[in-house]
Structure 1
Amino acid sequence: MTFLNRLVDKALKDPYVSTLIVKLEKQYANHFIGKNTEVLNLTGKEYLDLLRFADILCRSEKYEARNTAYKIISLLHAFYNDDQMFKLQAYNVLVKLGNFPSIEIVLGETKVHSDEIVIDRIVKETYQAAPGSSNIFTDTQYKLFEKMKDSNHFSFSGPTSFGKSFIFESFIKYLIEKKNGSDNIALLVPTRALINQVSMKLKNVINNKKYKILTKPVVPLLYKQSDTRFIFVLTPERLISYLSEANPVINYLLVDEAHKLLSETDTRAPLFYHALMIAKRKSINLYFSSPNVPNTEIFLQLVGNSVEETLSIKENSVAQNRFFIDCIEKRAVYFSEYGDEQVLEYSGYASDSHTNLKNAINILGENSPNIIYCNTKDDTIQYALEYAKTLSYRSDNELGQLINLVQDTMHEEYYLVDCLKKGVAYHFGGLPQRIREKIELLFQKKIIKNIFCTSTLLEGVNLPAKNIFILSNAIGLTKLSKIDFWNLAGRAGRLTEDLSGNIICLRIIDKRNRWENPDKDLQVIKDKSVGDVSSVLMTNQGKFYINIGNSIRNEPFTRKHVTENEKRMLDSYGNILAYHALSKTDSILRSKFIDRNNQAKEIINYLEKFNKVPEKILSQSSTIKLVYQNKILSSSMSLMNIPERTGYQECLDLLNTLCDLYNWEKEESGGRNPLVRSKAVLGYYAVLMSSWINSQPLNVIIKKTINYFDENSKQISINNRDFVLFEKENRAHINHIVNNVVSDIENLLRFKIKIYVKNYVDLLNIKYQKDEETIDIPNWDNYLEYGTTDLTIIELQNLGFQRHIASFLKNNYLDFFVMENGIITDFLENELKEQLQKSKYMQEYEEVSNTLGWS
């Protein structure tokens, strides 16, 4: 052991070091909650000793020592940021850690002269330069990047603030340079919400003109004609669709937020697994990224790759301070890095939840960007509204533009307008993408200071803040897992802007899943270690392999009480297993099913004998039970043709047909947000569907829906309570409709219903081929995906434009697109840019500019 290592080990175990850090933590915690208690302040000697210890610890290879060094610097920065001695020592520590993004925070305009530190920095900046940019890898990022470069597949994890997206961006640049721009690359993201964010970022950082960044599973003819290569940003369902057709080969697949693959409650997990197994079958090189997972080899195991190429990062790029404030029991504590709870004097206790929240934000979040996690959509809106009421009106040009956008594109009575007028916003998956993006941009610019949100932040949305207030320890009705908690809490602190962030678990009401059992609930924040994670495919939990066999044969599960989520996941895995068995796919799902279900051979024989659905259709319909697909194929009855017209009645007829054929009243009626509680809801879906696929803008769809509920005396259920008659003049009722319309278009029309429509179209085509009939079946699944029947608008969306911009370009600037038989064959991009710059359409120019990477 070297002298330095002995020194580091001694410092880590030295009670004097821990005593000093605890004292510094107390000083910081009291300062944070507004109590400047002089008696807690460090002496001059203690201050210098802490700097010396930080200098020793930062030189270690041990992540515990390096994290402690960084923690000391981050805490001292709150009190000594103007002290030259601190700046010199902090600069030294950050260079030793390779944490270059934080150096400017510490130094500001100050120039530090130290030959040793400057030389050390120059060496690291030279060797650790990220490909194709001026950014420098931290030591840990550089170590990871070098390992990835030498691997055909890889899996890594790190804290939320580690910079996983930066690693992937740098790796893409490396692949382009190494392969001389010959390979196609794809990024797999868990939800649509992330597609635009990731693709826009890539357009800003990938400068190679040979590459086009696409977000649809279609390569436009315009790009096929030239020597173009592609970077795709796709969800699992879009990747499955892409790989099912004769498209350009994808060579590398980078999987973001890979822990979603392991979820036992997220019904998209089977789809994620299915997409990856298809990619593996196509011999695509797979690279996984996840937050805080210690056993990163699990993702490689699930797809059947060797497990040596992994790395789990535990070094922090941003330090975090942990607080719990219990406004019910009137108790405030700070959680020390050494495991002790430090009781604090807090002055913000009140008798109601809204005042408790207002006081906490005003005392703890003053002058800082804050994220307030509320769990449910209703809580998110109500807490944002009530907090906004306590603030003065804001006058800001960009805020005004966003308010106008919300009123013009959604509804003038939408509650978000009230919040934005005070510089407050709420953020959840049911908001239109362009509104969410504007909110995120204004938050980054600090024009919006407080964002109230649901678990959309856990989907990987890049939205860090100085402080995160966590009002609930659950997602929906399920307690936050350790991975989800630290993924959420990891948003506290912004690399390049903060040395540290603050996590405040805040109990403001005595209610279920609102930290109601602190002794038990707080373990998730007290213990920062995340244990190994597992997959049901490995554990066979709940007789998993017996039950997916039962699903295939449409038999009861082994347990009477199976939740709707569990049922959907078992059915989906059953369908995927059927596909693997019939296509002879070598997978862990198939091999373990054969090992752990003693009726496996009979079930596979049953499948081979009973199933008539082609493999390609099975592959794209993994959420639909085989029994219904086969009934449609074998039916001797006359089936409804897909209608040519797309009016309300045609939509309603098609929905009724799908409801009957696929037994929605059984298969889609369970859970908190079912597709079909009763057939009566199909009239509402028909209104949405006919408006959406006929290219109508969102505000028109919302108004049509409001009129439908009013004219037909429909009932609504606000906050999942009793049903009440819809009132057109009731603002709460209007907001309920607005939120549902946006969410239902995204999650029901463009996802669930679209999958059923596509399956029905595909099966009808098979039936007609079998009967030697030639009928041209309209692609209603495309109509639902793109929100139009207009082939030009579809073409423009395939080029990367969002639906509203595609309609705008078609109506105003179609002359800049050369069309042949409805297909875009050329694009006068420079001329379009010149004309848009001169136009009155500044908002549209900005969006087109972002899409095409002009800015």
Structure 2
Amino acid sequence: MSQFALELSQKLVGHQRYWDTYSALQNAGTTSTFTLPLVASELPIERQSVALLLYCASVFAQTHDDYFKGMAQTIAINSLLLNNSENRIEERDKSIRILTELGNFPGVNYIEKTYGKSDLPLLGMLQREVSEGLNSVEVDGNKISLTDYQREVWAELPTSHSLAISAPTSAGKSFLVIEYLCRLAIKSERFCAVYIAPTRALLSEVFQKIKLRLSDFDGIRISAIPSLDFENNPRQIYILTQERLQVLLSISDLKFDLLVVDEAQNLSDGSRGMILQECLEQVSERSQVTRVIMLAPGAEGFVEAARIIGLPDLKIASTAVSPVLQNRILVNKVSGKDELRLDLLTQKNKVLLGILQTTRGFDVPATRLAAVSLELGAAGGSLVYATGPAHAELIASQLSQAREVIKDERLEELASFIEKHIHPEYKLAAMVRRGVAFHYGKMPTLLRESLEEAFKSGALQFLACTTTLFQGINLPARNVFIGTPTRGRGTLLDPALLWNFAGRAGRMRQDIVGNVFLVGYDDWQDKSMNEFVRFKIKPAFKTTIVESYSKVIEGLKNDLPKPNRSNEHLSAVRASAGLLISRATKGNVEAFISRSIPDLSKESINELTQAAQAAAIEVALPSSLLASNWMINPYGLRKLYEKILSRLKNEEYANTIPVNPHERNASTNYGAIFNTILLEINGQKDNFGGYIATLAVSWMRGFPYPVILSGAIKNAKKRLDEANEKKRIKKLEDPKSRVRQSKPVDASNVIRDVFENIEDVVRFQFVQFGKAYIDLLTLALVEVGRGDLIPTIFDFSLALELGVATTSGKSFVELGLSRIAASALESIYPNSNLSVSEARRWLSQLDLKTVQLSSVIVDEMTRLKLIAA
């Protein structure tokens, strides 16, 4: 039947009349989602034409072709959208039957709640119930309906040794994998799994989902910290970034039953992609029974990546069909008028939806994105893409200027939390009170999650956000606004990233349609939204060797490029050379190159092998040390080791061995250590290490954000006053000189800079440096015969990562609490050595009437079931 349906479908779409009618239906369905009237370009579609299209859709639905199934769903949903404004029961029932045939039961259930149940005959009702029953699973006592694609994936999960799941953002991939992982943990006596998330934002989201799902089951440790505890918990689930997994692998010989890689397209992501590849290879080498699941939002190239990491039997479950309809709408200003032209981008062309006439002006390009968002984003939540944190703050400011303060207790609580736990001068609080916010990855975790929750609940209507949301965070919306295909200072985005962000439009189980507004699309330098673009998984190590072979050879000869945060290519070259040196110390560099780049010439393989082996001899550091520190310049590590060794031989312990950050001399201690690291590894001779050490010590001590930020703002104002005083004196000395006083300090700009330093430098760069430093220091202490001092070394790498330095603080974080909450709780209970079980017990008995905690912190503890609701 499917072959006949496919052939008939091909004939149906071969007629121009089909496309004309199809476009007219899309036009009518899309405009029905707007709250503002358009001056339409077309007459409303006739019911007879809708009936013909529904017949076509019923044929398309019987094929196994994603292209035709996608069109069938588009026809059915647009017909339902028309039914929302007109009483068309027959068309509604036909649409529901088509969605049932397609297996989109989440969509069907939403439709029946919104538009009314379909009036099916008895046989149809039985067929529907049987089909939906087959597509349902019970999760934590609740029956959940799946799409056909989800059902196929669900069937593959227990039978596949390695599985790649590729589907659009809204297809419900991670839900299935998390549920499967949790079920394995529940039924196993011993179990060890790791879920790799590329960003802290996604890590936190996955952690909370798993924590909540397993909250009623004892004896399962769920940890986002790379530490061991099998003695007390024979069942463990780690949720880690690839960097944290690398640390865990370096301190243990763990073998995993299950490994999940979310956002697997990040294998292509420069040095971080290489870390991910190396971790996957290590896990596969340790155990042949480890099952691997990779997730990506529409990707190709899984087979080659799987071969490189040792997964030759990889199965792929892929679909291009989203369970919700996502309209791509071009928005362009009409020249000389306060009007917007709206066109729908379809498979064949663009269709004029109409002209929007308003009293709002759109003349200024700098505010046009905000103006369009305000005009068209009134219905449902709206995500507005910003090219970076500063741009997100600017757009949010523009949006909030045109809105009044909203009387909403949820918004007031969130704004008060921001003023108390971030800073009273942070502009975000005032914006929140108007239903607007900005969102980026370097924000404190609890703040970012609170904004996400407020947006999901409908309290926040507009959220200006950066590429953080491109990395799998579950934050869907009715509307998505995109005004540029670039990021940062104009660098073109990977088109697949834009499509991934556009996939936030529409919410499975909560809606059937989402609108993606492409503002000023006619002027975009890259028309990347014309056709769907998949991620292309190309392992970063192979790409770097192929594209920068000579530079990697130079790097292996002690000519590694200096680190450059704005140049990812140089970082990838540096990491490739370090990885080859590490592999050479293991004795398997030639096999590694041959497996990773099978089409590389034998001459090139030999040259790389010999250069790596020569470098390994010159670096002369243990294989075990380089295995987890190769992303740092190995030649720099050698210099740092010699410097540490020299100081230890001279018994200079004071500023060589890191101390607990709560010690009085901690800032001096870490300033000296950080400057030494930067000098020996990067050749950096300034006092940047001392500057960062002050921030890092405050961070590790668990100082609240208001304390850290107030100090930074105070220092910024002091520097400004000093600069203005110099200008004033110069003006007095030379009245004709053109000297202007600097603008007042903007607290929000200072706060953003501090967030960036905390996330990029303290919690990333110096976390890596810190791990390497401690490994080198341990090695050096053994060499000089002072192994007795090793227990006195404070693990500042982990403290920098978590932002707490006490046992109690680490226990609170292990329980899933944010640093803000952990810091607040540390200041309440007079015991800095609480174990995880002791911390959980204390929280379960906590009387909230006796302490002052923000409602946002209380909500976080309640969500994690650490306190009673």
Aligned CA distance change for structure 1 residues 126 and 39 (closer, same or farther; 3 Å): closer
Identity of aligned residues (%): 21
- Residue pair 2:702, 2:804 contacting (<8 A) in 1 also: yes
Structure 2, unpaired ranges of 5+: 649-654, 724-738
**Which one of 435, 438, 444 corresponds to residue 423 of structure 1?**
435
The structural deviation recorded for 1:541 is 6.3
Spell out the pairing of 1:407-418 with structure 2 (5 A cutoff).
407-418=419-430
Match of 2:733 in 1: none
The residue type equivalent to 2:28 in the other structure is Q
Report the AA paired with residue 816 of structure 2: G
Does the CA contact (< 8 Å) of 1:212 and 1:230 recur in 2?
yes
- Identify the match of residue 481 of structure 2 among 455, 465, 469: 469
1:122 counterpart letter in structure 2: E
CA-to-partner distance for each residue in 1:37-77, whole Å, 9 max, x for gaps?
A: 49521112112222222222223222112111110122222
Q: In the alignment, is residue 185 of structure 1 matched against residue 196 of structure 2?
A: no
Pick from 686, 690, 694 the counterpart of residue 697 of structure 2: 690
* Equivalent of 1:279 in 280, 283, 294: 283
Change (3 A) 1:162 1:329: farther
Q: How far, CA to CA, are the matches of 1:549 and 1:563 in structure 2?
A: 22
1:657 is aligned, of 676, 697, 720, to 676
> Residue 130 of structure 1 aligns to a residue in which SS?
strand
Query: Does the Cα contact within 8 Å between 1:80 and 1:86 map onto a contact in 2?
Result: yes
User: In structure 2, do the counterparts of structure 1 residues 594 and 715 end up closer, same or farther at CA, with 3 Å as the change threshold?
Assistant: farther
Q: How does 1:625-704 map to 2 (within 5 A)?
A: 625-635=633-643, 637-638=646-647, 640-644=655-659, 645=663, 646-665=665-684, 679-704=686-711
Three-state SS of the structure 2 residue aligned to 1:567 is: helix
- Hey, what does 1:730 align to over in structure 2? 744
Please, what TM-score do these two structures have when normalized by structure 2?
A: 0.87
User: Is 1:313 the equivalent of 2:316?
Assistant: no
Please report the TM-score for the alignment, with normalisation by the length of structure 1.
0.88
What CA RMSD, in Å, does the superposition of the two structures yield over aligned residues?
3.1
Counterpart in 1 of 2:9? 8
**Alignment size in residue pairs:** 812
Q: 2:350 aligns with which of 341, 345, 348?
A: 341
Q: Is 1:795 aligned with 2:800?
A: no
AA aligned to 2:223 is L
Q: Is the 8 A contact 1:537 1:589 kept in 2?
A: no
Distance in structure 1 (CA, Å) of the matches to 2:266 and 2:667: 37
Measured against aligned partners, the alpha-carbon deviations of 1:671-706 in whole angstroms (never above 9, x if no partner) come to xxxxxxx72544432331221122211110111222
Deviation string for 1:815-835 (max 9, x for gaps)?
8xxx9xx46274385674343
1:600-625: CA deviation from partner (whole Å, max 9, x where unpaired): 34223313422322223212213211
Q: 1:516 to 1:37 in 2, by over 3 A?
A: closer
1:213 is aligned, of 195, 202, 222, to 222
Q: How does 1:261-276 map to 2 (within 5 A)?
A: 261-264=267-270, 267-276=271-280
Q: Which amino acid aligns with 2:671?
A: L
Judge conservation of contact 1:548–1:570 (CA < 8 Å) in 2.
yes
Q: Describe how 1:162-201 pairs up with structure 2 within 5 A.
A: 162-176=171-185, 180-201=188-209
For the residue of structure 2 that corresponds to 1:566, the secondary structure is helix
1:381-431 alpha-carbon deviations (Å, 9 max, x no partner) = 112102211111111111111101111111111111121111001001122
User: Residue 292 of structure 1 contacts residue 486 of structure 1 at CA under 8 Å; is this kept in 2?
Assistant: no
Residue matched to 1:123: 130
Q: Which residue of 2 aligns with 1:294?
A: 300
Partners of 1:715 and 1:74 lie apart in 2 by 64
Q: 2:526 matched to which residue of 1?
A: 521
Residue 59 (structure 1) aligned to one of 62, 69, 73: 62
Moved more, 290-299 or 237-246: 290-299
Letter in 2 for 1:686: A
Aligned partner of residue 451 in structure 1, secondary structure: strand
> For residue 780 of structure 1, what is the aligned residue in structure 2?
796
**CA shift digits 1:101-130 (9 cap, x unpaired):** 112332226333422332223223332223
CA distance in 1, matches of 2:237, 2:601: 38
1:759-789 per-position Cα deviation (integer Å, ceiling 9, x unaligned): 1221111111011123232222233223233
Secondary structure of the residue that 1:599 maps to in structure 2?
Answer: helix
Change (3 A) 1:40 1:209: farther
User: How far apart are residue 278 of structure 1 and its match?
Assistant: 2.3
8 Å Cα contact 1:371-1:453 kept in structure 2: yes
Structure 1 range deviating more: 527-536 or 751-760:
527-536
Q: Structure 2 vs 1, CA of residues 130 and 839 (structure 1 numbering), >3 Å: closer, same or farther?
A: farther
Q: Confirm whether residue 835 of structure 1 aligns to residue 846 of structure 2.
A: yes
Which piece of structure 1 moves more, 800-809 or 743-752? Answer: 800-809
- C-alpha displacement of 1:212: 2.6
The Cα of 1:458 is off from its aligned counterpart by 1.0
Q: Matches of 1:781 and 1:714 in 2, distance apart?
A: 36
- For the 8 Å contact 1:580–1:590, the answer to whether it is kept is no
Give the CA deviation at 1:851: 3.1
Pick aligned residue for 1:233 from 239, 246, 252: 239
Change (3 A) 1:830 1:610: closer
Residues 358-386 of structure 1: CA deviation (Å, up to 9, x unaligned) = 44223321222110002122221112102
Structure 1, residues 446-501: CA drift from partner, whole Å, max 9, x if none?
11011001111112221111111002211223212121111111111111122121
For the residues of structure 2 that align with 1:26 and 1:181, how far apart are their CA atoms?
A: 56
Give the 3 Å change call, closer, same or farther, for CA 225–799 of structure 1 in structure 2.
farther
* 98, 101, 112: which one aligns with 1:107: 112
For structure 1, the residue ranges without an aligned partner over 5 or more in a row are 508-514, 666-677, 717-723
1:554: which partner in 2? 558
CA distance 1:701–1:249, change in 2 (3 Å): same
Distance 1:796 1:408, change over 3 A: same
8 Å contact kept, 1:429–1:456: yes
List per-residue Cα deviations over 1:550-596 (Å, max 9, x = no partner).
21222378x9x997321111111221222223224586546437843
CA contact (8 A) 1:754 1:785 kept: yes
The one-letter code matched in structure 1 to 2:132 is: E
CA distance 1:400–1:333, change in 2 (3 Å): closer
Q: State the alpha-carbon separation in 2 of the partners of residues 731 and 328 from structure 1.
A: 39
Range 365-374 or range 116-125, more displaced = 116-125
